[in-house]
C-alpha cells in the first residue's frame, strides 16, 4: 500500500512524537528510519567473543565475527641476523651514523615475513523474507546501548514484522527473534554465507541447523565451524544449504562459531558449537534475552552520565544528528553522552572473559566488527598507542570485567616474546615490538624505519596491569602478574646500555615520527627515525622500574639478593630526565632535533601527561607547561589528524586542567569522525578504527574525575559549555567510587564510596574549599564501605 505525500509526512511526525514519548532516548539509543547500506551503517553488538553488525536491510545481512578467526596459525618470523647486527647498529647510532643504522635495522631485524597474522571476517547470516524495501512502511531500526540489543520493525502488506538481535554472554551465542503480527505470515530463508574456504556446508532437518565448516589453504583463516539453529512455529524445509521457513509467526535463531584457537581438535570445536546451540535452544529465546540484557545493562548501567539535554535535536534519527552535529555541535550535547554510552557498550560487547583459560582475545583495531578478509592494518593489536587506548576507559568507567582478554594476550606475548628477546637481542626475559597478533607474536612488524623498530610495547601494556592494581588494590592480581614484570625487568636489565652516562635504549624510535638529521651526524639533513633513547622510552622505563620496586615492596619480595631486581633502582635513576627544548616544549628525542613532521599524529613524548602522570600540573607544573607547548605545536602544524590522535589530544587537555580545550577537541572529533553507525573513521574516510570510540570515553571521564596525583580530583576540567550535569559510578585510583552533580560550573555535591578503606584525599575543581561530611578539610581516613558526601 502506498501513501499520498501528505500522509507520509504525518507518519514521519508520528515517529518523532513517539521518540519524544520515550521510545528512543537521545543518550541511549541509535535509531534510523532507513536500512543500513554497507558496513559503516550496520549496528554493532556482541557477546564479548562473537560480534554482529546488523544491517536491517530487506534481506537481512548480519556480518559475524568470532574474535579468534584470524588469517593463520602462529608463525615464527624472527630474524636471526638481528643478534649479530644489534651491537653494530648501536655503534653506528653512538657514532652519529643514523642513516646507516636505520638501514641495518631493516636489513637485519625486520621479521620474515614482515607481517604477522591478521583478523578476518567469519561469515554472514542472511535472512531472506521475500520482502522488498520499496513496499514497506514505518521502517525503523535501533540499537540500545544499555541493553546491548538491536531491532528492526516495519509494516508489510498490513503485517508488522519485527527482528530482534541479542548477544548472550557467557554462553556465547547470538540469538535472533523474528515475528509477525499476523499468525502464519512469516516466511524466511536462513543461510550462512562466506566466499572462501568452505569445506562443508549443509542445512539439516535432523537438527534444523545450517552448518558451515571452514578450513584448508584457501580459507585465508584458521579452521572453524559455525552454525545457526532454527526454531519455528511454521514449516521448515531444506534446500540443501539453507533452511526455508514458511507460514510461521515466530522464528528464533541461535548462532555460534568456534575455532581451532580455543579448541585442540576439530571434534572439540564442532561439538562445542552443537552443545552451545542445544543449550540455547533448550533455554529458549526469552530466557536468553532476559539474561543477556541483565548482564549487559548491569555493566553499562554502572555509570550514568548527564551533561545536559539536546531537546528535540536529540530525538532525530542518529544519521541526522551526525550531520547536524557537523554544523552545530553546541546544539546536541547529548550526542556526546550517546558517544560515551556507545563506547562503553562496544567494550562490553567486544571484550569479556570468554573462552578457555588464557584464551581471551581483546578488542583489536576493529574491535570485533569487520567484513573483510584483509581489514585495514590487518585488524591487529597496534601496541604503540591503539590497543592501549581501547582499554583506557576500563578502570575509570567501572568495567574491569572487560580486561581479562588483554591480560591473556599479554601472557601470550610473554611466552612468544621470550624467544624474541633471546634470538634477536641475546637477552633473557621477554619483550615485544609495535604490533601483536592473536598469538602474541612479538617479533617486529612491517619494514620501515618510522615504525618497525620499537622494543618497548610490553612496558606500555604492563602499565595497564599496574593501573589495575591502583584502581582495585587486587594483590592477588599483582601476584599473578609478577612474572611478566620480573621477566620484562630481566630483559631490560640485559638489553639497556650506557651512553653518555645514561641508561639507554636503542635502536628505537619515537613511534612513527621522524626528525631531520643535524649537520654533525650522518646523513646530514636526511629524515630519520631510528635513534637512542627517545623520550617515550625513558618515560616508560622510569614508570616500569618504579612499578617493579613498588610491586616488590607490596609482595614483600626482596630486591637485594636478586641479580635483576638489585639493579632496577640504579637503572631507573640513570635514565635521562625529560628535557625542555628550544621552544619550551618537551623534547621528543635525546637531541632537540628539527622535527621533520611537526604535525605528527603520535604524541608519544607526552605519554607522561596522558596516560601517565609525571607531566601533569599537580605533579610538576614546569613539565606540564612544556607538555602544553608540545601539544600546541602539533596542533599549530595541523596535527591531531586521526580520530585516535584527536582523542589523545582531548585527554591531554583534560589532564592539563583545560576543560574548554578538552571539549573543543571532543567536538572536533565528533564533527569529523563518526560514520553513520557511530563507529569512528580513522581520518574522515570510511575506514573504521575503533580506538577513538573507546578513547573518547576515557577523555570525557578525565574532564570530570582524575586520580593520578594521589588525590580524588572532582570536576578538574569542566568545560564552560557543560555548566550543569551529573555522573554516577566512576572510579578513582585507591578504590573510590564517585558520583557528583554540578550546576553553574560549580560542584553541588559528590558522594565518594571507599571500596578498599584507603585514606581519601579530595580536591575540587581548581582548589575551591569544600566540606567532607560537613567538616572543612582535604581528606579523611576511610573504612571499606564508608560513603562520604562532599559539598562546597
Ligand X SMILES: *[C@@H]1O[C@H](CO)[C@@H](O)[C@H](O)[C@H]1NC(C)=O
Give contact residues for ligand X (rule: CB under 6 A).
Answer: 92, 97, 100, 106-107, 110, 112, 114, 128, 130, 151, 162, 164, 177, 179, 181, 185, 187, 189, 191, 202, 204, 206-207, 209, 211, 227, 239-242, 246, 250, 273-274, 277, 329, 447, 522, 525-527, 577-578, 596-597, 620, 622-623, 664, 667-668, 773, 786-789
Nearest approach in angstroms of CB 212 to ligand X is 10
Q: Which is nearer to ligand X, 359 or 668 (CB)?
A: 668
Q: Which is nearer to ligand X, 162 or 569 (CB)?
A: 162
- The residues near 171 (Cβ < 8 Å, ≥ 6 apart) are 276, 279, 280, 283, 288
Angle in degrees, CA 478, 484, 488, rounded to 5: 130
Q: Which is nearer to ligand X, 429 or 455 (CB)?
A: 455
Angle in degrees, CA 174, 60, 9, rounded to 5: 120
User: Quick check: 576 and 538 in contact, CB under 8 A?
Assistant: yes
Distances (CA, A) of 6 to 16, 320, 592, 597: 16, 21, 68, 57
Q: Got the DSSP string for 699-763?
A: HHHHHHEE-TTSSEEESTT--TT--SEEEEEEEETTTEEEEEEEETTEEEEEEEEESS---EEEE
Nearest approach in angstroms of CB 564 to ligand X is 28
Q: Which is nearer to ligand X, 249 or 559 (CB)?
A: 249
- Considering just the CA atoms, what is the radius of gyration of the chain in Å? 27
* Alpha helix positions (H), 51-173: 82-94, 98-109
d(CA 119, CA 112): 19
Nearest approach in angstroms of CB 464 to ligand X is 25
- The residues near 304 (Cβ < 8 Å, ≥ 6 apart) are 726, 727, 728, 729
SS3 110: coil
Q: Which is nearer to ligand X, 118 or 488 (CB)?
A: 118
Q: Which is nearer to ligand X, 273 or 389 (CB)?
A: 273
Q: Which is nearer to ligand X, 475 or 525 (CB)?
A: 525
| Cα dihedral sign, 625-627-630-634 | negative
Q: Which is nearer to ligand X, 202 or 686 (CB)?
A: 202
Q: Which is nearer to ligand X, 208 or 693 (CB)?
A: 208
Q: Does residue 523 have a cis bond before it (omega within 30 degrees)?
A: yes
Q: Which is nearer to ligand X, 522 or 756 (CB)?
A: 522
d(CA 628, CA 60): 49
Nearest approach in angstroms of CB 755 to ligand X is 14
Q: Which is nearer to ligand X, 104 or 303 (CB)?
A: 104
Residues in a beta bridge with 727? 305, 740
Nearest approach in angstroms of CB 115 to ligand X is 10
Nearest approach in angstroms of CB 347 to ligand X is 25
d(CA 397, CA 379): 25
DSSP secondary structure letter of residue 60: E
Nearest approach in angstroms of CB 577 to ligand X is 5
Q: Which is nearer to ligand X, 256 or 388 (CB)?
A: 256
User: Quick check: 116 and 377 in contact, CB under 8 A?
Assistant: no
Nearest approach in angstroms of CB 410 to ligand X is 26
> Strand 787-791's sheet: what is its strand order?
304-306, 725-732, 736-743, 746-754, 787-791, 771-772, 775-776
Q: Which is nearer to ligand X, 331 or 687 (CB)?
A: 331
Nearest approach in angstroms of CB 164 to ligand X is 3
Nearest approach in angstroms of CB 764 to ligand X is 16
Per the structure block, which three cell numbers stand in for 72? 593463520
User: Quick check: 357 and 404 in contact, CB under 8 A?
Assistant: no
* Alpha helix positions (H), 138-283: 266-283
Nearest approach in angstroms of CB 566 to ligand X is 26
Nearest approach in angstroms of CB 586 to ligand X is 10
Nearest residue to ligand X, scored by beta-carbon proximity: 522
d(CA 111, CA 445): 7
d(CA 89, CA 108): 10
Nearest approach in angstroms of CB 487 to ligand X is 27
Q: Which is nearer to ligand X, 257 or 315 (CB)?
A: 257
Q: Which residue from 95, 88, 90, 87 is spatially nearest to 521, judged by alpha carbons?
A: 95
How far from chain centre, in Å, is Cα 174? 21
Nearest approach in angstroms of CB 155 to ligand X is 13
Q: Which is nearer to ligand X, 371 or 528 (CB)?
A: 528
Nearest approach in angstroms of CB 77 to ligand X is 9
Nearest approach in angstroms of CB 160 to ligand X is 8
Q: Got the DSSP string for 301-362?
A: TT-EEE----GGGGGS-HHHHHHHHHH-GGG-HHHHHHHHHHHHHHHHHH--S-SSTT----
CB count within 10 Å of CB 293 equals: 17
- Containing 163, the helix (H) or strand (E) segment is strand 159-168
User: Quick check: 744 and 751 in contact, CB under 8 A?
Assistant: no
Amino acid at each position: 500500500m502506498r501513501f499520498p505525500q501528505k500522509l507520509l509526512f504525518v507518519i514521519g511526525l508520528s515517529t518523532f512524537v513517539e521518540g519524544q514519548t520515550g521510545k528512543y532516548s537521545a543518550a541511549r539509543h541509535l535509531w534510523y528510519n532507513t536500512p543500513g547500506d554497507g558496513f559503516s551503517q550496520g549496528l554493532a553488538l556482541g557477546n564479548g567473543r562473537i560480534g554482529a553488525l546488523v544491517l536491517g536491510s530487506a534481506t537481512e545481512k548480519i556480518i559475524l565475527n568470532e574474535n579468534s578467526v584470524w588469517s593463520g596459525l602462529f608463525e615464527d618470523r624472527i630474524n636471526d641476523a638481528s643478534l649479530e647486527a644489534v651491537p653494530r647498529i648501536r655503534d653506528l647510532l653512538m657514532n652519529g651514523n643514523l642513516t646507516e643504522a636505520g638501514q641495518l635495522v631493516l636489513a637485519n631485524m625486520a621479521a620474515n615475513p614482515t607481517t604477522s597474522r591478521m583478523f578476518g571476517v567469519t561469515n554472514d547470516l542472511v535472512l531472506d523474507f521475500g520482502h522488498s524495501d520499496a513496499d514497506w512502511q514505518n521502517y525503523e531500526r535501533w540499537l540500545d546501548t544499555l541493553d546491548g540489543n538491536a531491532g528492526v520493525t516495519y509494516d508489510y502488506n498490513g503485517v508488522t514484522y519485527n527482528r530482534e538481535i541479542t548477544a548472550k554472554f557467557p554462553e556465547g551465542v547470538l540469538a535472533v527473534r523474528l515475528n509477525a503480527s499476523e499468525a502464519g505470515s512469516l516466511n524466511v530463508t536462513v543461510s550462512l554465507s562466506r566466499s572462501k574456504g568452505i569445506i562443508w556446508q549443509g542445512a539439516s532437518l535432523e537438527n534444523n541447523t545450517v552448518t558451515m565448516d571452514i578450513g584448508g589453504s584457501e580459507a585465508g583463516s584458521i579452521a572453524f565451524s559455525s552454525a545457526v539453529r532454527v526454531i519455528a512455529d511454521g514449516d521448515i524445509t531444506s534446500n540443501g544449504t539453507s533452511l526455508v521457513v514458511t507460514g510461521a509467526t515466530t522464528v528464533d535463531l541461535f548462532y555460534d562459531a568456534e575455532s581451532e584457537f580455543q579448541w585442540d581438535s576439530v571434534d572439540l570445536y564442532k561439538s562445542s558449537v552443537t552443545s552451545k546451540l542445544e543449550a540455547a535452544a533448550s533455554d529458549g529465546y526469552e530466557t536468553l534475552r532476559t539474561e543477556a540484557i541483565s548482564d549487559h545493562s548491569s555493566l553499562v548501567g554502572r555509570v550514568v552520565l548527564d551533561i545536559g539535554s539536546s531537546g528535540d535535536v536529540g530525538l532525530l534519527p542518529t544519521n541526522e544528528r551526525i550531520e547536524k552535529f557537523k554544523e552545530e555541535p553546541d546544539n546536541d550535547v547529548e550526542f556526546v553522552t550517546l558517544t560515551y554510552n556507545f563506547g562503553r557498550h562496544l567494550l562490553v560487547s567486544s571484550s569479556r572473559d570468554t573462552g578457555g583459560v588464557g584464551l581471551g582475545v581483546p578488542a583489536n583495531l576493529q574491535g570485533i566488527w569487520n567484513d573483510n578478509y584483509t581489514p585495514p592494518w590487518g585488524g591487529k593489536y597496534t601496541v604503540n598507542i591503539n590497543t592501549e587506548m581501547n582499554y583506557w576507559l576500563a578502570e575509570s568507567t567501572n568495567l574491569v570485567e572487560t580486561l581479562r582478554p588483554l591480560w591473556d594476550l599479554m601472557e601470550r606475548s610473554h611466552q612468544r616474546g621470550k624467544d624474541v628477546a633471546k634470538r634477536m637481542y641475546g637477552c633473557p626475559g621477554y619483550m615485544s615490538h609495535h604490533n601483536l597478533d592473536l598469538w602474541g607474536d612479538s617479533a617486529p612488524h612491517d619494514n620501515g624505519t618510522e615504525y618497525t623498530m620499537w622494543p618497548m610495547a610490553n612496558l606500555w601494556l604492563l602499565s595497564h596491569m599496574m593501573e589495575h592494581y591502583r584502581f582495585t588494590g587486587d594483590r592477588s592480581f599483582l601476584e599473578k602478574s609478577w612474572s611478566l614484570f620480573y621477566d620484562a625487568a630481566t630483559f631490560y636489565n640485559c638489553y639497556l646500555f650506557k651512553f653518555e652516562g645514561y641508561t639507554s635504549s636503542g635502536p628505537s624510535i619515537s613511534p612513527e615520527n621522524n626528525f631531520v638529521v643535524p649537520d654533525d651526524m650522518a646523513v646530514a639533513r636526511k629524515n630519520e627515525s631510528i635513534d637512542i633513547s627517545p623520550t617515550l622510552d625513558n618515560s616508560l622505563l622510569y614508570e616500569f622500574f618504579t612499578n617493579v620496586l613498588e610491586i616488590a615492596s607490596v609482595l614483600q619480595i626482596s630486591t637485594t639478593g636478586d641479580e635483576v631486581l638489585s639493579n632496577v633502582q640504579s637503572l631507573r635513576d640513570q635514565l635521562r630526565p625529560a628535557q625542555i627544548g628550544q621552544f619550551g616544549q618537551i623534547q621528543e628525542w635525546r637531541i632537540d632535533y628539527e622535527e621533520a613532521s611537526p604535525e605528527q599524529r603520535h604524541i608519544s613524548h607526552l605519554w607522561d601527561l596522558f596516560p601517565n602522570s609525571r607531566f601533569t600540573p599537580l605533579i610538576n607544573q614546569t613539565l606540564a607547561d612544556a607538555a602544553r607547548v608540545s601539544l600546541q605545536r602539533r596542533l599549530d602544524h595541523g596535527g591531531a589528524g586521526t580520530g585516535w590522535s584527536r582523542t589523545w589530544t582531548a585527554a591531554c587537555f583534560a589532564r592539563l586542567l583545560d576543560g574548554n580545550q578538552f571539549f573543543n577537541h571532543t567536538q572536533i572529533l565528533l564533527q569529523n569522525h563518526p560514520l553513520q553507525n557511530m563507529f569512528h573513521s580513522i581520518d574522515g574516510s570510511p575506514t573504521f578504527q575503533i580506538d577513538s570510540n573507546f578513547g573518547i570515553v576515557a577523555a570525557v571521564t578525565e574532564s570530570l574525575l582524575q586520580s593520578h596525583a594521589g588525590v580524588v580530583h572532582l570536576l578538574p576540567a569542566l568545560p564552560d559549555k557543560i555548566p550543569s550535569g551529573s555522573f554516577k559510578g566512576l572510579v578513582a585510583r585507591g578504590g573510590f567510587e564517585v558520583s557528583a552533580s554540578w550546576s553553574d560550573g560549580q560542584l553541588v555535591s559528590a558522594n565518594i564510596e571507599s571500596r578498599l578503606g584507603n585514606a581519601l584525599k579530595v580536591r575540587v575543581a581548581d582548589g575551591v574549599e569544600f566540606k567532607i561530611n560537613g567538616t572543612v578539610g582535604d581528606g579523611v581516613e576511610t573504612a571499606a564501605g564508608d560513603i562520604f558526601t562532599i559539598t562546597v
